[in-house]
Structure 1
């Protein structure tokens, strides 16, 4: 079980420990820690959060598959986003569940990925709202202000600088960025900028000459 929030991690471990047929062999607080422990313990399943300090999830999943090919990766995240789910499943995750899932859904997903090891077998659990975002497309769900904030983020401005430029509160900037992350399935400022630029929502950031 890999999650940087101790209370949440301990809660999930308690659920798994009480479940029939599941033994918890280790816990980790970062992507690097998860890879190190997976290489040593070779678990059947690694439960992985998307946002942890250090190494990003897009690096962690392929690394886990490399150091412990036998292990299946179950992503458990707050990001209710089909686009992100598809990306992580393509990288090698076997299941993608939002943190609003029930304990029964989590336990069932773990049993399922262990029993059915076929390469085409994946588990996706998102809300109807998350599915509707795919039908809309990112261009339909980002507001003008969110695009404005993201465009300034692409210029490497801090939240404080963006707030001053737009004459809004710094807390409002943070709220807009949180909404952008959720809508684009992004896990960082850079990830949000890259995804928005790829979708032509903002101009492609210019690389400054030295």
Structure 2
């Protein structure tokens, strides 16, 4: 939340449907604490506006031209770490929800929620930076819960390797530090990629951190 005489929550609204986008902007403008600083009609514009304004909240639709929602969520964390990305969508897809939360989305909301519920949700997101907010059908939550046991948790040794990766160590340095062979370190990382659904060292660290598995402070 930006500093000022009166606390103002700055928001960028990104949706490819102009009528919905402008309506949402008008709705949010009626809230004294909110300021819609920009709008975007696709993923590329959304990232441009985030970089330009560094808003408190990016209110993001899932299906838009340009960069995908996943790419926007991930890139927003790099461009403006303090910006909280809130997904507002008609899609209550469990796999999509899980992916976006792992990438750093702060909330996942469905578009059929009432005005007061949306305002309350955005206010909560700003004031509860350490939490994730969900407003989806109960069936989606149950499906998400059912998916969890299917994902094998990283072992303590694997997490130990990943913490050293997060500190910038190479495989050779990690092997020396933990008294392992480089081949063993590589095997641990391969296992981590599979368990976390990661595609790189940086991605593995980001995903594990989003799940609260790392303590790298």
TM-score, normalized by the shorter chain, greater than 0.5? yes
Report deviation, 1:19.
1.4
Contact residue 81 and residue 126 of structure 1 kept, 8 A = no
Number of the residue aligned with 1:12? 24
User: 2 CA distance for matches of 1:124 and 1:45?
Assistant: 15
| Normalised TM-score (structure 1) | 0.60
Residues 44-82 of structure 1, C-alpha deviation per residue, up to 9 Å, x if partnerless? 000000000021111111111111111100000010223
Residues 27-57 of structure 1, C-alpha deviation per residue, up to 9 Å, x if partnerless? 0011110111111111100000000002111
Tell me if 1:123 matches 2:133.
yes
Within 5 Å, give how 1:67-82 maps onto structure 2: 67-82=79-94
Report deviation, 1:20.
2.9
Report deviation, 1:113.
1.3
Unmatched segments (≥5 aa) in structure 2: 1-12, 148-217
**68, 92, 113: which one aligns with 2:104:** 92
Change (3 A) 1:131 1:39: same
**15, 25, 31: which one aligns with 2:43:** 31
User: 1 CA distance for matches of 2:92 and 2:129?
Assistant: 25
Spell out structure 1 runs of 4+ moving beyond 2 A: 128-137
Matched residues, number: 135
User: 2 CA distance for matches of 1:136 and 1:67?
Assistant: 34
Contact residue 15 and residue 21 of structure 2 kept, 8 A = yes
User: 1 CA distance for matches of 2:49 and 2:32?
Assistant: 23
**52, 56, 60: which one aligns with 1:40:** 52
Residues 115-137 of structure 1, C-alpha deviation per residue, up to 9 Å, x if partnerless? 1222xx00011113434555787
Number of the residue aligned with 1:159? none
Unmatched segments (≥5 aa) in structure 1: 138-210
Contact residue 38 and residue 67 of structure 1 kept, 8 A = yes
Q: Which structure shows the bigger proportion of residues in strand conformation?
A: 2
Number of the residue aligned with 1:3? 15
**109, 119, 123: which one aligns with 1:107:** 119
Report deviation, 1:89.
1.0
Residues 171-192 of structure 1, C-alpha deviation per residue, up to 9 Å, x if partnerless? xxxxxxxxxxxxxxxxxxxxxx
Within 5 Å, give how 1:185-204 maps onto structure 2: none
